[in-house]
Structure 1
Amino acid sequence: MRFTSFSGALFLSCLPVFTQAATHLSADQQTQLDVTLYTDNLGLVQETRSRPALPANQPVFLEDISQQMQTETLRLNKVGRIKEQTLNQAVLNLTTLLDNAIGNNIILARRGADGQELQQTVRLLSAQGNTLMIEHNGRIETITRGDEWRIIFPDMPDNLVLKPSLQFTTAGAPNAGEANISYLTAGLSWQMDYVMTLNTARDAMQLQGMASLQNMTGTDFKNARIKLLAGNVNQVQGNGRMYAKEAMMRATMDAPMASAISEQQSLSDYQLYTLESPVNLLDQQRTQVPFISQEDVSVEPVLTYRFRIGANPEQQTTTLKPNSVIRFYNNQHHGIGKPLPAGNARF
């Protein structure tokens, strides 16, 4: 392959230019953020962001949102009448750049023996793993991507974004104000883990519970007020799917905020808990927060057997190993008396 020598060459990417100025609403404009986590890879995000006046038909980009947003559940209030909305999930990275460049020209560059950079314009035919198939001087060639090669893209595709965002246009909102945003998203979940420490007499225990919060949405939720919903929400595919989700979404949004996690609220067959302090729920992280701490819970050690009794028992002795069980009652008299979410218990 023949290369052209360049010294100190500078290539600038061409960015898309909008004929009408766009408004960007990022997490920096957040004035309130509430996140409700369900136990089965589902969550509800509710937030308020300050916004300027919105001219009619002006593009508005809602940034710092979940990459797994369920757009059919999105609610935008106080932004004017929504005319159109699009979720942009095509994030700029090397894979998406190569996919968009197939059929177009790219520039291959590497350092020559004299230290100067050699560049050649070729047409990209395909990109599979580390192998590029290119057309050069009417011939088809393959090269392997590595430290030796550098790929220069002449421009930035208009359909790629630096991070996921929701683009929408409205009929206009003449005055500055606050936008209310809520949506359901996959990628959020939580679970309970209990540690139960018995005393020497084995008639009481200390109960410690930690809630593990997991965020796999692709975005950070900083300084969020966290609510935890205990119970399995119906997510069956079909006509009943969205009814079940939206019904739970409305119930969670309408419930008042509790001042502490001990003041749980009942929502039909579910329990809703609110963490006392805001939490930084960062992407790709598992965060543990104290859920319950109870001293001197009365317990009862029990030995149990399980065996089969037939109509004609055999005339022989069977040795059985008993199971050691710790039993306690969830009521105020025995030291608890509040609903406990399902989880793993370790003694």
Structure 2
Amino acid sequence: MTRPMLFPALVLASLLLLAPAVSSAGATGAFVAVYNSGRAQVRETRAVTLPAGPAVVVFTDVPATLDATSIRAVAPGMGVEGIEYSYRPITPRNLLDLYVGKELSVILPDPADANARILRKARLLSNAEGPVFSMGKEVYVGGYEAVLLPEMPKGFNEKPTLTLTTDNESEGRKSVALHYLMGGLNWQADYTMAVSADGATADLEAWATVTNASDYAFKGADVRLVAGDVQRAPASYKMARRGEPVLAMEAAMPDNAAGASEESFSEYHVYTLPTAVTLPPQGARQASLFSAAGVPVRQELVSRYHAGTGQRAGKIDQSVESALTFDNLAVNKLGRPLPAGTVRVYMPTTDGHHLLAGETRLGHVAEGDAVRLVLGRSFDVSVERRQTSFEKVGKSAYEIGWAVTVKNGKKVPADLKLADSFPGQWKVLSSDASYAVADAATIEFDLKGLPPSAGTDGLVINYTVRIEY
């Protein structure tokens, strides 16, 4: 069946007057594909008793965040000739929009008495960015206590309404498949990593957190979760939002069932939840994606510095970031796509309790990729540097000396990686510690087994670099 076009308002209005109106039953058998970009694709089944010939089918139980341009309705022997979606809830802004150009009673602060109020007649000139009134020859822009409307205007909807103009081959009860896109639904992965006592492995649990802010509930839905960056066209119409019209067309509850099944879909990945899911109109639902025990991990401390060509005086403190790394490989108990989300890493104390050691965002990770989670800053390991020499040796060439001091405040040895980056063309002229060239702009000092430095000056690394633009 071809996609029906949106009817012009006058043509659709005439059809609505001629055809009998039919109301639909509630939705059943919902299929909901939730994208991690804040939208969802929905397919629902509605039972409708239709007469032969033209009829108007009214759906009042539809989302306020529905994308009116995406609606499709299909049933055997039913032709769809027009679609209208309307939602104008009763809000102060919508009420005042209908009174632009009319005279109203406005309660204002009394300029002569801060505790008093006055009643004035005023014409509402505009409500685009807040009410603007004219009072005689003056224009009033400012605060007001209240606006009194003479009556309740018509044209408001308590609920969003979808109206189909149909032409039916025969009368009888039909199952109408309603397809549409909507906003207000989103999902992300939430990961928990519990690191072992020796710090060499971690147990990983992945959960999908589906959030619904649409005020539209789904009961017993077949839910699919799509992971990936799906292209969206720029909106060419005004989307339905709470409090604004569109015309023309509970706390998180975990689901402890088995993990979701995953498959590739186009350039994305889709997860199918194993059981039917009920999404409350406002709230979140969690479902297990997968778990992996004994994933090999590596803990590392890294301090980075981006050097320039300027002359610096005094000491420069460098932060030392704490990170946890692992490889997304099958031999490491993983080897699966990891959807974007939040990762919380817990590490053990000496008495066996696991405490939160860091929380970070994870982007989409493909199978085989390396993962690096920055957890925070080291409390005990510190790095500071001092510029020991500075000389301009050419029009745009400089020779700069650095002394980098590393201290380990722990009671046990620690490993640290120093990563220094340089602009332009550069060359290390001298260094009293070995280093490796990490990339075209960076050298790394890999310091293994730094001893505790209590009562000492710590480890000092001296090097000189030539930088030329």
What's the TM-score, normalizing by structure 1? 0.66
Secondary structure, in 3 states, of the residue corresponding to 1:333? helix
Secondary structure, in 3 states, of the residue corresponding to 1:58? strand
Secondary structure, in 3 states, of the residue corresponding to 1:57? strand
The structure 1 residue matched to 2:204, chosen from 194, 204, 207, is 207
Q: 1:49-79 CA distances to partner (integer Å, 9 max, x unpaired)?
A: 2221244332211222222322222221106
Shift in alpha-carbon separation, 1:162–1:306, aligned structure 2, 3 A? closer
Please state if 1:161 is matched with 2:148. no
Contact 1:127/1:133 (8 A) holds in 2: no
Please state if 1:234 is matched with 2:234. no
What code does the residue aligned with 1:189 have?
N
Instruction: Show the counterpart of 1:51.
Output: 48
Contact 2:26/2:61 (8 A) holds in 1: no
Shift of 1:341: 0.5
Shift in alpha-carbon separation, 1:20–1:73, aligned structure 2, 3 A? closer
Instruction: Show the counterpart of 1:24.
Output: 23
- After superposing the two structures, state which structure 1 stretch, 81-90 or 260-269, moved more: 260-269
Q: 1:304-327 CA distances to partner (integer Å, 9 max, x unpaired)?
A: 5656799xxxxxxx9987644322
Aligned mates of 1:179, 1:282 — CA distance in 2? 24
Shift of 1:46: 1.1
Q: 1:101-144 CA distances to partner (integer Å, 9 max, x unpaired)?
A: 6678999xxxxxxxxxxxxxx9996797799999xxxxxxxxx7
The structure 1 residue matched to 2:329, chosen from 306, 322, 331, is 331
| Residues 137-156 of structure 1: pairs in structure 2 closer than 5 A | 153=151
The structure 1 residue matched to 2:297, chosen from 290, 296, 299, is 299
Secondary structure, in 3 states, of the residue corresponding to 1:264? strand
Q: 1:271-302 CA distances to partner (integer Å, 9 max, x unpaired)?
A: 00012233332334343333333322222334
Aligned mates of 1:101, 1:281 — CA distance in 2? 39
Shift of 1:97: 4.5
Aligned mates of 1:268, 1:190 — CA distance in 2? 19
What's the TM-score, normalizing by structure 2? 0.50
Please state if 1:280 is matched with 2:261. no
Please state if 1:171 is matched with 2:167. yes
Instruction: Show the counterpart of 2:64.
Output: 67
Instruction: Show the counterpart of 2:380.
Output: none
Instruction: Show the counterpart of 2:431.
Output: none
Aligned mates of 1:263, 1:236 — CA distance in 2? 29
| Residues 10-21 of structure 1: pairs in structure 2 closer than 5 A | 21=20
The structure 1 residue matched to 2:265, chosen from 264, 267, 273, is 267
Contact 2:189/2:340 (8 A) holds in 1: yes
Aligned mates of 1:106, 1:231 — CA distance in 2? 52
Aligned mates of 2:294, 2:262 — CA distance in 1? 22
Aligned mates of 1:23, 1:300 — CA distance in 2? 64
Shift of 1:201: 0.5
Shift in alpha-carbon separation, 1:319–1:65, aligned structure 2, 3 A? closer
Contact 2:208/2:289 (8 A) holds in 1: yes
Unmatched 5+ residue regions in structure 2? 1-15, 106-120, 136-143, 237-256, 309-315, 346-469
Aligned mates of 1:238, 1:184 — CA distance in 2? 13
Instruction: Show the counterpart of 1:34.
Output: 31
Aligned mates of 2:299, 2:50 — CA distance in 1? 67
Shift in alpha-carbon separation, 1:126–1:222, aligned structure 2, 3 A? farther
Q: 1:129-180 CA distances to partner (integer Å, 9 max, x unpaired)?
A: 799999xxxxxxxxx776xx986736x62x3222111111111252312111
Question: Larger % of strand: which?
Answer: 2
| Residues 73-92 of structure 1: pairs in structure 2 closer than 5 A | 73-78=70-75, 80-92=78-90
Contact 1:132/1:145 (8 A) holds in 2: no
Contact 1:64/1:220 (8 A) holds in 2: no
Aligned mates of 1:211, 1:71 — CA distance in 2? 28
Aligned mates of 1:309, 1:127 — CA distance in 2? 56
Please state if 1:216 is matched with 2:210. no
Aligned mates of 1:67, 1:273 — CA distance in 2? 26
Shift in alpha-carbon separation, 1:18–1:84, aligned structure 2, 3 A? closer
Shift in alpha-carbon separation, 1:237–1:133, aligned structure 2, 3 A? closer
Secondary structure, in 3 states, of the residue corresponding to 2:69? helix
RMSD over aligned Cα, in angstroms? 4.2
The structure 2 residue matched to 1:188, chosen from 176, 185, 190, is 185
Contact 2:104/2:148 (8 A) holds in 1: no
Contact 1:57/1:171 (8 A) holds in 2: yes
Secondary structure, in 3 states, of the residue corresponding to 1:72? helix
Secondary structure, in 3 states, of the residue corresponding to 1:277? coil
Contact 2:262/2:269 (8 A) holds in 1: yes
Shift in alpha-carbon separation, 1:203–1:268, aligned structure 2, 3 A? same
Aligned mates of 2:100, 2:305 — CA distance in 1? 69
Greater Rg by CA? 2
Aligned length: 281
Aligned mates of 2:18, 2:232 — CA distance in 1? 42
Identity of aligned residues (%): 25
Q: 1:186-228 CA distances to partner (integer Å, 9 max, x unpaired)?
A: 2222122212111111111121223222223342223322211
